[in-house]
Chains A and B, each alone.
Chain A
Amino acid sequence: MTATSQAPVYQAPRAAASDIPFGRLVQVEFRKSWNTRSGFWLLFTIGALVLIGELIAAIVTAVQDVDDVNLGTFATVAGVITQLLLPTLGILLVTSEWSQRTAMVTFSLEPRRSRVVQAKLVVSMIWTAITVIFALAMGAVFNLLYGAINGSISWSGGAGIIGFVITQALAMLIGFAFASLMLNSPAALVVYVAYLFVIPTIFGIGAALMHWFKSLRDWILLTQSEQPLYDGFWHMSATEWGRFLVSVAIWVVLPLVFGLRRILRAEVK
């Protein structure tokens, strides 16, 4: 590395600066999600695990001679894997800016922080869509494979697929919300895992011991209240809708509102 270069500093005709278009911010945030080593390997891992999961599901169902195997079965398998990994991606989209301190650069290039956060939200939804499409494609391939081995193919389970898409998008949003609330990757991940496994267990114990607790749980636990979605949201009763919307407000809307407020006001160091 020498220090001799004295290339003339570029002098473009200075056009009147205009706002950064939102589409460009989305493009930049999308690129940021895969152009780091950790981001790239996380995406790679999600793809690989979905593939392995589907493979195991196909083998197990074929060997065990399970009856009603259809496309929905494979979508559910993918869902179990991605409901943990997809939000991790959402979390890193937000927290890496703070743990790696790139927020200083990001917010000095676009000081309107809400636009950056919106772009990140769009990117998280793009990745959800890509993951869902990938999982469904894998599901279709393995469903075909299963059909070839077993002799009968069922393409039913469409309701499950729609439920899968909605719950994945919600999981992503929850990860995103926790991340903006914590602004710290390990903390946000721990809280998400607690949300996914620990809290349902605690509520389960409570519900087993006290009857009133059970009805409370039905209104609070999103992991519980989103289950009817898998049977098709058009079959959901008014009570089921109520429970679903209340728990979405608790786990998605509330943390997202406070998290966004925190990002917009936080001092960036």
Chain B
Amino acid sequence: MIKVEGLTRTYGSYTAVDDVSFECQPGRVTGFLGPNGAGKSTTMRIIVGLTPPTKGTATVKGVSYHDLPNPGRTVGVLLDASAQHDGRTGREVLALGAMTMGLPMSRVDEMLHLVSLSPSEAKRRIRNYSLGMRQRLGIAHALLGDPEILILDEPANGLDPAGIRWMRGLLKQYADRGGTVLLSSHLLHEVELIADEMILIGKGRIVAQGDRKSLMAHNTKVEALATSLDNTALANALTAKGISVVPAGEGLRVAAEPVEVGRTAVEHHIVLTDLRSGEGGLEDLFLQLTSDTQREGVVA
């Protein structure tokens, strides 16, 4: 498991990571979410000991990463799939990793097979790899030492849709076996589908964390979208109850819970053709919480 406490990293007057604390539990996939430059990669580099923190501690299985003997056997790391020597073949990259960790060379072939890199692709130099292929190689490298913890920075980047689905399955399976996964992404939908636990970060600070349900509790916006056979009558009935209604597309946007809209419709014998919660889901919450940190300013 991974434990991060009060982590802060400053560069001059710029604070990249600001008092970040969280834990990643075995058997769970923890998603690390945030806009570009929010401090995700810096936090991950600090965990792996590549960047010294200004303040705070990060431990893996209770010890500092630096004190893990042969850390590749405990923690699989993929921080940047492009950070490989262009002039080396994919197979050589894995061979070097296997040699360092003291693994048999058969493990290299197993991993190449696992990430669907063909023998002829593995013989090519990384210069000729697409980002998706580099990403697959990086995942193979992270899994090489059969680690119990995975730390992956934007692993879905550059993968094709089939590849993304494959990786989702792989990580799910890995966590179900008892593995700990920390993965970062700026793609919400990706993480939403696999993460048991989510950490939302913006401008170096954690803005929210928890499982999907507890995160949604942050969403205070109550809204319903309703369409009926008689929108005018429904709008009048709702307005009469003091609920504000605005037309939206073919239906109405109502500032109330869907249950309230349904009740009103029943009372007035109006046939509803569509009724759903207007809460935007995780994406809305994410944009709302990080709105002051988004580059685009306030988004809708």
A interface with B by C-beta (< 8 Å): 1-7, 9-12, 14, 17-20, 24-25, 27-28, 31-32, 35-39, 96, 100-102, 104-105, 107-112, 265, 267-269
Beyond known contacts A31-B92, A108-B77, A268-B51: 15 more, CB 8 A cutoff: A1-B116, A5-B166, A7-B114, A9-B170, A10-B146, A12-B146, A20-B69, A20-B100, A35-B92, A102-B83, A105-B77, A109-B101, A267-B45, A267-B50, A268-B50
Which segment of B157-165, B193-201, B263-271, B278-286 sits at the interface? B157-165
Write out the residue numbers on chain A whose beta carbons fall within 8 Å of the beta carbon of B141: 105
- Across the interface, name the chain B residue whose C-beta is closest to A100: B85
- Across the interface, name the chain B residue whose C-beta is closest to A27: B99
CA distance A39 to B117 in the complex (A): 25
B114 touches A109 (CB 8 A): no
Write out the residue numbers on chain A whose beta carbons fall within 8 Å of the beta carbon of B52: 265, 267
* A/B interface sample: 17 pairs, CB < 8 A: A2-B116, A12-B146, A17-B68, A31-B95, A35-B89, A37-B87, A101-B80, A104-B50, A107-B49, A107-B50, A108-B75, A108-B79, A109-B72, A109-B100, A110-B100, A111-B48, A111-B66
Write out the residue numbers on chain B whose beta carbons fall within 8 Å of the beta carbon of A25: 100
Per a CB cutoff under 8 Å, which of B50, B99, B177 touches A108? B50
Per a CB cutoff under 8 Å, which of A28, A35, A107, A108 touches B88? A35
Per a CB cutoff under 8 Å, which of B71, B84, B89, B166 touches A102? B84
Q: How many interface residues does B have (CB within 8 Å)?
A: 61
- Mask, B91-104, CB within 8 Å of A = 1, is 01001110111100
A4 touches B77 (CB 8 A): no
Report if A38-B162 is in contact (Cβ < 8 Å); known contacts: A24-B100, A107-B49, A108-B71.
no
Secondary structure at the A interface, as helix, strand, loop or mixed, is loop
Write out the residue numbers on chain B whose beta carbons fall within 8 Å of the beta carbon of A108: 48-50, 71-72, 75, 77, 79
B87 touches A104 (CB 8 A): no
CA distance A14 to B174 in the complex (A): 16
B interface with A by C-beta (< 8 Å): 45, 48-52, 65-66, 68-75, 77, 79-80, 82-89, 92, 95-97, 99-102, 107, 110, 113-118, 121, 125, 133, 136, 141, 143, 146, 148, 160, 162-163, 165-166, 169-170, 173-174, 177
Task: Work out how many contacts link A and B, with CB atoms closer than 8 A.
Answer: 135
- Across the interface, name the chain A residue whose C-beta is closest to B102: A24
Q: How far is the CB of A29 from chain B (nearest CB, A)?
A: 9
Among B74, B85, B96, B173, max chain A CB count under 10 A is at: B85
CA distance A158 to B141 in the complex (A): 49
- Across the interface, name the chain A residue whose C-beta is closest to B98: A28
- Across the interface, name the chain B residue whose C-beta is closest to A11: B146
Write out the residue numbers on chain B whose beta carbons fall within 8 Å of the beta carbon of A112: 66
A9 touches B114 (CB 8 A): yes
CA distance A12 to B75 in the complex (A): 15
CA distance A111 to B49 in the complex (A): 7
A1 touches B68 (CB 8 A): no
Q: How far is the CB of A230 from chain B (nearest CB, A)?
A: 37
